[in-house]
Structure formats: C-alpha cells, structure tokens
Amino acid sequence: MYNARNLTYIRHPFLEWVTLDRFTDIKKIGIGRFTKVYTATWIDGKSEYYRNNDGSYKKVNLEPMMIVALKRLIGSQNMTDKYLSKA
C-alpha cells in the first residue's frame, strides 16, 4: 500500500498532487454521502523521493501502472484553499 504518511526514506512526509490526466481506465465503483469512489490505473505508479543536498527532491519510479482507488468529494469544486489547509 502506498502511504505517504509512512515513508521511511523521507524525513518530512508529504502528499503528491497527481493530475487526472495521469490516470486511465477510470470507473465508478461506489457512491456515499460525501464521496464518489472510482478505480483507475495510475500511469506513473508508486514512486520514491530522495532529498538532494540542495534541499530539492528526486523522484524515482518503482511500480509503473498501478491500480488505485480515487475518491471525489461531492461539492469539492466549491472548496476554498482555507478548507484544504486544515488537512
């Protein structure tokens, strides 16, 4: 399981923003009160990030084309950056 909060090779865990164009075969598999759930193929797949001496990060792909679950928050197009910063 790819869990950005449990990365042992980065001292400062973070989430990677992945744009929708990096997914294929998107299919809705469920709907709840606040979310719609989809399955998809992530073209780039799981990656590791290594911190360089200059503070930048280098991405190293590990598993290209991995199957993932996507969640879409219902009404998320109306969220503000103030709401997102509370995560």
CA distance 40 to 23: 6
Mean pLDDT of 35-47: 90
DSSP letters for 13-57:
--PPP--GGGEEEEEEEEE-SSEEEEEEEESS-EEEEEE-TTS-E
Under 8 Å between Cβ of 37 and 69:
yes
- pLDDT tens digits for range 4-34: 544 444 455 567 788 999 999 999 999 988 8
Q: Which of 17-21, 44-48, 79-83 has the lowest mean pLDDT?
A: 79-83
- pLDDT tens digits for range 48-70: 777 788 878 787 777 788 899 99
